[in-house]
Structure 1
Amino acid sequence: MYTPEIAPLADSLLWSSLAALLPLLTIFVTLGFLKWKAHWAGLAAVIVALIVAIFVYGMPVGLAGLSASQGFAFGLFPIMWIVITAIWLYELTVKSGHFEDLRLVINVISDDPRVQAILVAFCFGGLLEALAGFGAPVAITGVMLIAVGFTAMRAAVVVLVANTAPVAFGAIAIPIITAGNLTGIDYKEIGAMVGHQTPLLAAVVPLFLIFLVDGKRGLRQLWPLALVVGIVFGAAQFVSANYLSVEMTDIIASLLGLAAAVIMLQFWKPVGGQDALDKMADERTRENADAPDAGGSGAAVKSSADTKTSVDLETPVDTKTAPLTGRRVFMALCPYLIVIVIFSAAKLIPVIDTWLAGTDIKIPWPGLDGNILNAAGEVSTSTVYNFQWLSSPGTMLLVSGIIVAVVYKMTVKDAFQVFVDNVVKMRFSILTVGLVLALAYVMNLSGQTITIGTWIAGAGVLFAFLSPILGWLGTAVTGSDTSANALFATLQQTAATKAGIDPVLLVAANSSGGVVGKMISPQNLTIAATAVGLLGQESAIFRRVIWWSLGMLVVMCLLVGLQSTILSWMVPEGV
């Protein structure tokens, strides 16, 4: 039986926290500065975490190893299961020949890549986050941006930055519901408070996306559209989270944001789209000349997008090919329509949702379950592995892919071969995510994560300004806002009570802080790299997004800190 100590090193919370931070520093240094491959960085961090767990925290060697094994298993299923099936769904469209039509359909709405970044990465990505979450939005929107001519690196950065504001309400608000279950606070109150935080982020994210695509010129030319979409999305999040439905928040916000963009484009046409296309054509030429093929799914993408000339990509749709018929449009959008229908039914129809959840198999992890206590001396429930063989978003994506294969009249042999090839190409991504989750489980079960959280929570009344850091840290380690809330929601609640701060504010801040940590999670970096064909270049992507993550974290910290003091009027009544 192992009980983690909060301050095992010299009975000092400071020194213990510095030791507990070593695994995180390892992965950030090896990825960000030493430019290691992600799987080697993950392996190094796991080794450091095991050393700290065994020699600093006194965790038995067997329990430390079993913790890593459970985390690795969780990384394979359901996390990588979701990514594998999401990429497979995309690969089916390539194999069937309908992937090119998807680009043409998107171009019908707008051939301006800056607009496409907002429509695909922000609006459609937000809808996928609402229904699926767990990396699926990054994977699917990444390949969609590749389809319309984005370079691999730019597509990866755009989708990671876009996958922020919707995350707190992702997968039918499961992060917020988890926080409510753990703290005993009504999740609707937590959701209402988050609805007073993330909408401010949502309002400006489209501006960030335009800047990432076309710099200052893009901002000057498209700021009206970006602001309209961002404000509509944020306002919808606020209204839904406070007055309609916490669970439906991202669905409503994404659809209204998309509608606002489409309606505005009927009356207002941005300028400079051709310049942005020329810029991307030059980037594609340099990328194809300089970057070796990483062997990921992007290898298939290159055949349909990257090898096109600038003339090809700039030619109006109606003169480039035969006119887009209703059937071609439907077939191009079919995979994504099927995904929306299946996930909506699974998540929004209570009978189906309950039945699917009832098929989950709870597996007490052999040798680990019952032998780990949490810091409060209670038996840890984290040692029970939940095998979601049917309710997992990955299984729903698998069903979606099977239906797509049937609609596209693909043979069983071809569809299966695409799946196998996909798994082989993703082998290093699978290893990386497994190692990252192994790291998270060792840190969590040994007590390293709670030590860091307790140290930060010792800031007293200043903790309100620091509380989003815990959510950011938890999501950066695990790749999941839900997991970050599972780690720190009760700690936030306790720290707030001791400091005389409204607990709901800080529990919500944990979730809101987590949304800006997702883009630097090694798990999500690997998913993005896999989707766009940049396997092995996670460190390069990390260096592109880390400053965006830190900048948004600072803003969130200031917002929450001010909401605890001079902006207390922003805290909704009853919270």
Structure 2
Amino acid sequence: MYHQVSAPLGGLGWSALVAALPLLVLFVLLGVFRVRAWLASLVGLALSLVVAIVAYGMPTGAALNSALEGAAFGLFPALWIVVNAIWIYQMTRRSGHFDVLRRSFARISDDQRVQGIIIAFSFGALLEALAGFGAPVAICSVMLVAVGLKPIKAATIALIANTAPVAYGAVALPVITLAKVTGLPLPDLSAMTGRQVPLLALIVPLVLIVVLDGKRGLRQAWPAALVCGGSFAVAQFLMANFGAVELTDIVAALVSAAAVLLLLRVWKPRPADPAPTSGVAPSGAGGAPTVVRTAAVRTDTRVDVVRAFAPYVAVIVLFSVAAVPAVSTALAHTTRTFSWPGLHVANAGGKPLSLALFKFDWLANSGTVLFVAGLLTVPLLRLRVREAVRSYGETVVQLRTAGLTVMAVLALAYVMNMSGQTATLGLFLAGAGGLFALLSPLLGWFGTAVTGSDTSSNSLFGALQVGAANGAGLSPLLMAAANSSGGVLGKMISPQNLAIGASAVGLAGKEGLLFRRVLAASAVFVPLMCVLVYLQSTPILSWMVP
């Protein structure tokens, strides 16, 4: 059995610097040298293996097995979810019903800024609440392209919007996991997290407006952004503190969408320019859109509209049914958990790592639910079986490079986690004493950026946050919640999600460009969350801690 070492080079500082090399190289290759994501991920993986074997003394076989388990996790469930989500879109596009969906959103509002908020934030939050694991980014990206956004902008909007709902995504799985690994009460953790992430919900729709149409968009469409974010934040806070934690994002998403629809009955955004008769006007100077309104070209029958929305209604219904406790328990009985062959790892305290256990939840899995929804889509859209099979094949081909990226990134994450590189970085940040409250969200951000999952980040650093809090005289509850709240901000720059977003809109290989687009948003949100958590650790905002 391999026993992790916290400071293999003697000093924690030098050990942390070496441990961070694979990630530093990965992000520099993506953001500076614009290397394709799959190649950058493979380079990062190779470097993590070298660090694990040479610096940490991890046996070569164990290091390679760690990478294999991570790659397997990337294949299932990560890619299984994304392939089936995009398959549904491919079938709606092939049948012509995605155009009906686009025109339906145009009838709700012919303003692309409002459409972007409803689709990326409200509908995306609902998908995150039910599925998570990349499905919101995959589905919302292609829906935004369908309403007239350029592919790179559509993927950027979908990634930025996929923040505030993440802490309670996948039926609150991140918070529930955090409670398990820390031993803290779930209601208290939910309440504390619900006093941090709603602040993001207030800001994110405003940022989306700026990304869509700059300062002009903010001047003209801020009421829609404020109503959407404000209603979501209030509903999320109330559910997280006083309701069923599993329903937090579901309620918040539905409330925000309803609030915007009610607003549109009494208010319309002022157009920047005269609306065109159809389509989208050309871009203005500097690539900024000069027209933000679209117009439906034809009138669809009620039957066409129902069929266009039917696949996504099926997704929501199936996920809702799967979340029912009795059904969820029954599905969980089909899950098989086993130790990954040849992988025996213990942490610095001598306890075996649960990460070496591979969970094969072939039926109780978001990807399987999406696959069933896809099967239902075939008769709902009156597609031939041959067309559905062809669409699935096209989806697999489209995602081939994204699949390699996802598998390589998760292989890198598992090598870093198993060898102890991640723990070294966490301990280095935890050594900041009282200032750890300022750095605490960075741990969650870092964990999600590497793994693409707030749930995985909480699994990695939840217990570490509590231990560091006790050593620094801080609230364990506050630091644990900060891990999850900070983690939601790492999702948009995770190579896994960048690959999903780029591939969904046909930009595989352009992940570096997408990374630079979303990095600015992450750079704004992360310091804001760090300052909030720090103030909550002081008398200024300590009244917010349960």
The residue aligned with 1:526 is: 499
Q: CA deviation at 1:387?
A: 0.8
The residue aligned with 2:238 is: 239
Aligned identity (percent) is 52
Structure 1 residues 283 and 356: CA distance shift in structure 2, 3 A? farther
The residue aligned with 2:92 is: 93
C-alpha separation in 2, matches of 1:547 and 1:377:
41
The residue aligned with 1:362 is: 337
The residue aligned with 2:282 is: 282
Q: Give SS of 1:34's match.
A: coil
C-alpha separation in 2, matches of 1:399 and 1:570:
46
CA contact (8 A) 2:160 2:492 kept: yes
Q: CA deviation at 1:419?
A: 0.5
Match of 1:562 among 532, 535, 539: 535
The residue aligned with 2:32 is: 33
CA contact (8 A) 1:112 1:276 kept: no
C-alpha separation in 1, matches of 2:364 and 2:279:
43
Matched, 1:338 2:337: no
Q: Give SS of 1:8's match.
A: coil
Matched, 1:352 2:351: no
Alignment of 1:109-508 (within 5 A): 109-272=108-271, 274=273, 281-283=281-283, 316-317=295-296, 320-321=297-298, 323-347=299-323, 349-368=324-343, 371-508=344-481
Structure 1 residues 273 and 356: CA distance shift in structure 2, 3 A? farther
The residue aligned with 1:304 is: none
Structure 1 residues 564 and 112: CA distance shift in structure 2, 3 A? same
Q: CA deviation at 1:325?
A: 2.1
Structure 1 residues 517 and 360: CA distance shift in structure 2, 3 A? same
RMSD (CA atoms) = 1.8
Letter in 1 for 2:348: A
Match of 1:511 among 484, 488, 499: 484
CA contact (8 A) 1:478 1:484 kept: yes
C-alpha separation in 2, matches of 1:375 and 1:504:
24
Letter in 1 for 2:333: G
Residue-by-residue CA offset, 1:417-465 (whole Å, 9 max, x unaligned): 1101210121111111000000000000000000000000000011001
Structure 1 residues 383 and 53: CA distance shift in structure 2, 3 A? same
Structure 1 residues 260 and 237: CA distance shift in structure 2, 3 A? same
Letter in 2 for 1:331: R
C-alpha separation in 1, matches of 2:295 and 2:136:
28
Q: CA deviation at 1:566?
A: 3.0
Q: Give SS of 1:382's match.
A: helix
Letter in 2 for 1:417: R
Q: CA deviation at 1:324?
A: 2.4
TM-score with structure 1 length normalisation?
Answer: 0.92
C-alpha separation in 1, matches of 2:208 and 2:482:
24
Q: CA deviation at 1:416?
A: 1.1
Structure 1 residues 279 and 397: CA distance shift in structure 2, 3 A? closer
Q: Give SS of 2:358's match.
A: strand
Letter in 2 for 1:78: P
Q: CA deviation at 1:222?
A: 1.1
Q: Give SS of 1:204's match.
A: helix
Unpaired segments of 5 or more residues in structure 2? none
Letter in 2 for 1:499: A
Letter in 2 for 1:557: C
C-alpha separation in 1, matches of 2:127 and 2:543:
29
Structure 1 residues 543 and 251: CA distance shift in structure 2, 3 A? same
C-alpha separation in 2, matches of 1:285 and 1:60:
57
Matched, 1:542 2:541: no
C-alpha separation in 2, matches of 1:4 and 1:379:
10
Letter in 2 for 1:560: V
Structure 1 residues 46 and 247: CA distance shift in structure 2, 3 A? same
C-alpha separation in 2, matches of 1:275 and 1:185:
56
The worse-fitting range, judged by mean Cα deviation, of 508-517 and 404-413 is 404-413
Q: CA deviation at 1:314?
A: 6.2
Letter in 1 for 2:211: L
CA contact (8 A) 1:122 1:206 kept: yes
Matched, 1:552 2:528: no
Structure 1 residues 355 and 275: CA distance shift in structure 2, 3 A? farther
C-alpha separation in 2, matches of 1:314 and 1:474:
39
Letter in 1 for 2:208: L
Q: Give SS of 2:118's match.
A: helix
The residue aligned with 2:66 is: 67
Q: CA deviation at 1:272?
A: 1.8
Q: Alignment length, in residue pairs?
A: 543
TM-score with structure 2 length normalisation?
Answer: 0.97
Structure 1 residues 246 and 440: CA distance shift in structure 2, 3 A? same
CA contact (8 A) 2:148 2:280 kept: yes
Q: CA deviation at 1:17?
A: 0.1
CA contact (8 A) 1:151 1:283 kept: no
Q: Give SS of 1:439's match.
A: helix
Q: Give SS of 1:282's match.
A: coil
Letter in 1 for 2:503: T
C-alpha separation in 2, matches of 1:441 and 1:78:
15
The residue aligned with 1:23 is: 22
Letter in 1 for 2:390: Q
Q: CA deviation at 1:275?
A: 6.3
C-alpha separation in 1, matches of 2:388 and 2:286:
33
C-alpha separation in 2, matches of 1:122 and 1:514:
18
Structure 1 residues 83 and 389: CA distance shift in structure 2, 3 A? same
C-alpha separation in 1, matches of 2:438 and 2:405:
33
